[in-house]
Structure 1
């Protein structure tokens, strides 16, 4: 196991004990090499590189991606994927990843992973079609599997990108129709979509959204996410409806997020606390055609906020 505390050493000093107080040996122990490194060509000039996140006790502060032994990207510890762009079509590349700690120690690298960029297609002027269908299921408290139908493109699909909440979280090869996702949170609703990509790096529209709810971890109790959220626009109003979570008592407060930001706390007064299906109307003043992505979470009996509902997109009505 990696040592995270500094190694104390005996310091002898003519200045006496005070001069040697706090003397520690420098941190020279490198973190472990990242595991699970993959590389997938996603266009004629781009390769998507991914790896497993380091364990919390490894003391990793960042990652370095190398191509043929040459550093090409530096990333903070919270990032475990990157697009390497500006590559040459029809060319093979070999990537490795190493971890770095706060003292600047660099890990070794595992075996190189290889990817070959496809040929450029100058005549490729149209994006791929969207995958017509998508399905998903939780495979554990922190894992899920998402599958999709094949897309079409005039010059050929080169990759499929999985998005969650508008953020790409995974890239799969052109011949794949499903992929395993990890690093998820227990007792959480995720809304996944899939986009196809072609050799000119054009993306398709989103596939139909698929909601996946991860189960609670062992001993975690019932789910805390509001379920079945819908959002409907009418002139001057957005109506939200959802099923209240089982928090152990009636839930009187919900925090509403619009476009990724908290906007208000919806509060139900004494005697008006709903159970089962909940409905709430929001007066809007923004222009018609404005797009909102909405989600919410409930206040739990212990005072904390619970898990988020699935996210829904609504276009404001004239």
Structure 2
């Protein structure tokens, strides 16, 4: 994973992944390329965006990234743990055909998925009227890792284009404006969730959030599988001040992790948020802790998971400034 630049601010940038520009496999590659992604869907989210989703291909731990194409043009590239993306900067009133390809860690690019089509709606001039709030949301757990949600349709003077599903304030799913029910997958067993739904129109106006739906998935989850591993903490001195240097391996989950919470001496110290493409593999971060030598500090961190919940805490590490 690329190293996070040395910031003291709460929001951190990240280096972009290097995008592959070719359709062919690199010469000399040996072995079998990954298969084509299945379950690909595309749904217009606004007059200029389409939400594309797909299923992980077999041997997903060996998938480096997915590439999304509009026709023969690559429009997005996301890490292998991510199985959805919003394709933006599109033209209104236009029919698009999307395919998805998987690239493995050896650089082999698999065949494209079957094409799926989505038409962006017409742009509505000077539309500042948001849809009404989705009504009567309801839901039930249908397994330890999925729930079924439903809601009453919103009203809009120009029409609802899509519905966004949130968990704890984090958008985790999107469906078309003609749908008032969906199944949300990739959840954790034995975990409490709070879902809300918001309607979106062609001008990207968002409705108020629906009333919350509180559900708990059956089963148990001790948090160990969602905790960062290989967590290390060290200190260094620069310009008369002491800093803590952290490094860790992100938990392996079905999706992308963009935020971590860091605890210092038992209290929340900061939130680390990647504003661009999150780094892959091992991560690192550093921050200021003071100018006094011989101070002991206890540190741990946890990730906000793709389902909107917080994962398990890492092991705790202790460091001493100047030690």
Range class of TM-score, shorter chain: 0.5 to 0.7
Q: Quick check: 1:151–1:196 contact (8 Å CA) kept in 2? A: yes
1:93 aligns with 2:96: yes
Q: 1:29-44, aligned counterparts within 5 Å? A: 29-44=32-47
Q: Hey, what does 2:153 align to over in structure 1?
A: 150
Task: Indicate whether 1:48 and 2:51 are aligned.
Answer: yes
Distance 1:117 1:298, change over 3 A: closer
**Would the alpha carbon gap of residues 136 and 56 (structure 1) be closer, same or farther in structure 2, given more than 3 Å must change?**
farther
Structure 1, residues 4-62: CA drift from partner, whole Å, max 9, x if none?
xxxxxxxxxxxxxxxxxxxxx95432112111110001111111101113345551010
- Match in the other structure for 2:184: 181
Could you say if the C-alpha distance between residues 165 and 56 of structure 1 is closer, same or farther in structure 2, counting changes exceeding 3 Å? farther
Name the CA distance, whole Å, in 2 between partners of 1:205 and 1:72. 31
Q: 2:80 aligns with which of 52, 77, 84?
A: 77
In structure 1, the residue matched to 2:111 is 108
Distance 1:37 1:90 in 2: 22
In the aligned structure 1, how far is the partner of 2:91 from the partner of 2:204? Answer: 13
Secondary structure of 2:135's aligned partner? coil
Cα distance change on mapping 1:159 and 1:69 into 2, 3 Å: same
Give the distance between the partners of 1:183 and 1:210, measured in 2 at CA.
17
SS at match of 2:74: strand
Secondary structure of residue in 1 paired with 2:162:
strand
- Structure 1: distance between partners of 2:60 and 2:260: 30
| 1:297/1:169 CA distance change after superposition, 3 Å | closer
Deviation at 1:201, TM superposition (A): 1.0
Q: How does 1:168-317 map to 2 (within 5 A)?
A: 168-216=171-219, 261=261
- Which runs of no fewer than 5 residues in structure 1 stay unpaired? 1-24, 226-258, 267-294, 305-318
Equivalent position of 2:122 in the other structure = 119
Q: Give the SS at the match of 1:73.
A: strand
Q: TM-score, normalised by structure 2?
A: 0.59
Shift of 1:106: 0.8
Q: CA deviation at 1:80?
A: 1.1
- CA-based RMSD of the aligned residues comes to 2.8
Distance 2:310 2:159 in 1: 39
- Work out the CA distance in 1 between the residues paired with 2:198 and 2:73: 31
2:89 aligns to what SS in structure 1? coil
Partner of 1:60: 63
Q: What are the equivalent positions in structure 2 for 1:125-164 lying under 5 Å apart?
A: 125-164=128-167
1:57-101 Cα deviation digits (max 9, x unpaired):
551010000011211111111211111111111110000001111
Q: Is the 8 A contact 1:135 1:147 kept in 2?
A: yes
The residue number in structure 2 matching 1:5 is none
Q: Contact 1:32 / 1:58 at 8 angstroms: preserved in 2?
A: no
- State which structure, 1 or 2, has the greater radius of gyration over its C-alpha atoms: 1
Distance in 2 separating the partners of 1:82 and 1:34: 14
Q: Can you give the 5+ residue segments of structure 2 that lack an aligned partner in the other structure?
A: 1-27, 224-258, 268-308, 316-323
Q: 1:96 to 1:78 in 2, by over 3 A?
A: same
Aligned residue-pair number = 212
Q: Aligned equivalents of 1:126 and 1:165: distance in 2?
A: 25
Considering Cα pairs closer than 8 Å and 6+ residues apart, tell me whether 1 or 2 has the greater RCO. Answer: 2
* Structure 1: 4+ residue segments shifted above 3 A: 25-28, 54-58, 259-266, 295-299
CA drift at 1:102? 1.1
Q: CA deviation at 1:197?
A: 0.2
Q: Is the 2:133–2:154 contact (alpha carbons within 8 Å) kept by the matching residues of 1?
A: yes
